[in-house]
Amino acid sequence: MKQTAVACSNIAFIKFFGKKDEMLRIPMNSSISMNLKNATSTTTVEFSEEVHTDSINMTDREKERIVTHLDRIRKIAKISLKAKVVTENNFPKGSGIASSASGFAALTVAATKALDLNLSEKELGMLSRVASGSACRSIPTGFVKWEKGTKNDDSYAFSLYPPSYWNLKDAVVIVDRNQKPISTSKAHGLSCTSPFLSKRFEGMDEKIKECEGALAKKDFERLGELIESEALNMHAVMMTAHPSIFYFRPGSISVMETVWKLRKEGIQAYFTLDAGPTVHVIYEGKEEDRILPVLKKLESAKEIIVSEVGEGAKIISDHLF
Ligand code: PMV
C-alpha cells in the first residue's frame, strides 16, 4: 500500500484562466502546455492501519488541500485508511513554477496506485484536475492539450506529442522571491470582474487551433507570437480586474524587454508568464548559446532554471521514506 510517483510541472502556451465550475475545476477554455523535465515533484504515499491521522510534510494550508484530495481517492477505493505522504520538489518554492500541478499529479498517481485502483491516463488526469486544474496537464507526456469539456468526464488532458517531438526549452527567470500578492485561485475568481474577460474568450477557440497548427508545423515564430500575446492578454485581464491583480515586477519587465531586444537581433525567443512575476523564456534548443548567456547577465535575474520538455507522471521504485 506504498507507492512513489514523479511528475513534471508544466508551462502553458495557452492558459487556463477562469472556471466554468469552481468545484470540479471545469475551465472556461481549453489550454495547451509543455511539461518541464527539470521541475518535478516526487511523492511517496503509504496507506496503513498504523497511521491514525493523515501525516503530510507540508504547511497547514497545503495539508488541507492534500487531505481533501486523499478523501476523494479514499472514496473511490471505498476505504478509510489514513496515509503518510512525503513530497519533495526539485525546484524552489516561490519560483513561479507551478508546484501544485506537479504535486497533485504525483500525489494522484502514487495514491491511486498504492490502493490498486489502476486508473487510465484520462481518469488520472480528471482526478488531478479536481485538485488543481493545471495538474491534469502534468499526467500525459510532452506537449499536452486540456480539452475544456463541459462536465467532469469530458474535461480532460491528453498528449499531443512526446518530448522528443520538438527540442523546445524554457528558461525560467526568477526575478522576485517574495510571496505573490494574490493567489492563483483568487485570481481565477476575480477574472470575471474584468471588462476584458469576455473579449478574451471570443478569440479562444481560434487561438487553440492556431497553437495546435503551429505545433503540428513546428512553426516556432508563429507559436512564439501566440504564446507571448496570450500571456499579455491574460495579464491584461488580471490588471483590469477589481481589485486589480498586478503581478509584473520591474525585473519581469526588464526580462521581457531583453527578449524583445533579442528578437530585434534576429534571435528567436519568446516569453510567457503565469500568475506571478517569473518570466518563462521559450526557445528552440539550438538557440540556447545565443540566449542563456544574455539572460544570465541580467541584474534582475535572481536565478534561472532551464528545462527541456518532460514526460508524463509515472510510478518509480525508490521511496522517500
Ligand atoms: O491550475 P491552477 O489553478 O494553478 O491555475 C493555473 C493558472 C495559470 O498558471 C495562470 C495558467 C495555466 O494554464 O497554467
Mean model confidence pLDDT for the chain? 96
Q: Would you say the CB of residue 12 lies under 6 angstroms from ligand 1?
A: yes
pLDDT band for position 315 (cuts 50, 70, 90): very high
Q: Would you say the CB of residue 143 lies under 6 angstroms from ligand 1?
A: no
Architecture of domain 2-164 in this structure: 2-Layer Sandwich (3.30)
Q: Is 66 exposed, middle or buried (0-12, 13-18, 19+ CB in 10 A)?
A: buried
Q: Would you say the CB of residue 272 lies under 6 angstroms from ligand 1?
A: no
Which helix (H) or strand (E) segment holds residue 307: the answer is: strand 303-307
Which atom, in ligand 1's list, is nearest to the CA of 25? 3
β-pair partners for 10: 35
Q: Would you say the CB of residue 3 lies under 6 angstroms from ligand 1?
A: no
Q: Would you say the CB of residue 259 lies under 6 angstroms from ligand 1?
A: no
Q: Is the pLDDT of residue 261 over 90?
A: yes
Q: Are 53 and 114 in contact (CB under 8 A)?
A: no
Across 214-287, the runs of DSSP E, i.e. the strands, are 269-272, 279-284
Q: Would you say the CB of residue 100 lies under 6 angstroms from ligand 1?
A: yes
User: Rounded to the nearest whole angstrom, what is the distance from the C-alpha of residue 120 to the centroid of ligand 1?
Assistant: 23
CB atoms within 10 A of CB 40: 26
Q: Are 259 and 281 in contact (CB under 8 A)?
A: yes
- What φ, ψ does residue 69 adopt, rounded to 5°? -70, -40
Of the candidates 172, 264, 168, 170, the residue with the CA atom closest to the CA atom of residue 218: 168
Residue 280, SS3? strand
Tens of pLDDT, residues 110-128: 999 999 999 999 999 999 9
Give me the helix-helix angle, 121-131 and 60-77, nearest 10°.
Answer: 140
Q: Would you say the CB of residue 180 lies under 6 angstroms from ligand 1?
A: no
Residue to mutate, 9, 14, 15, ligand 1, most ligand atoms under 8 Å from C-beta: 15
pLDDT at position 61: 81
Q: Would you say the CB of residue 247 lies under 6 angstroms from ligand 1?
A: no
Q: Is the pLDDT of residue 39 over 90?
A: yes
* Topology (CATH) of 165-307: Alpha-Beta Plaits (3.30.70)
User: Rounded to the nearest whole angstrom, what is the distance from the C-alpha of residue 103 to the centroid of ligand 1?
Assistant: 13
Q: Is the pLDDT of residue 94 over 90?
A: no
Which atom, in ligand 1's list, is nearest to the CA of 185? 3
User: Rounded to the nearest whole angstrom, what is the distance from the C-alpha of residue 233 to the centroid of ligand 1?
Assistant: 14
Q: Is the pTM of this model over 0.85?
A: yes
Of the candidates 222, 245, 315, 312, the residue with the CA atom closest to the CA atom of residue 9: 312
Distance in angstroms (rounded) separating the CA atoms of residues 138 and 197: 26
254-263 core/surface letters (b: 16 or more CB in 10 A; e: else): bbbebbeebb
The residue written with cell numbers 522576485 in the block is: 176
Q: Would you say the CB of residue 31 lies under 6 angstroms from ligand 1?
A: yes
Q: Are 282 and 7 in contact (CB under 8 A)?
A: no
The domain segmentation of the chain, as residue ranges, is: 2-164, 165-307
Q: Would you say the CB of residue 104 lies under 6 angstroms from ligand 1?
A: no
Q: Is the pLDDT of residue 297 over 80?
A: yes
HEC states along 251-271? HHHHHHHHHHHHHHCCCCEEE
Q: Is the pLDDT of residue 62 over 90?
A: no
pLDDT band for position 95 (cuts 50, 70, 90): confident
Q: Is the pLDDT of residue 191 over 90?
A: yes
DSSP string, 94-124: TSSS-HHHHHHHHHHHHHHHHTT----HHHH
pLDDT band for position 231 (cuts 50, 70, 90): very high
Which atom, in ligand 1's list, is nearest to the CA of 100? 4
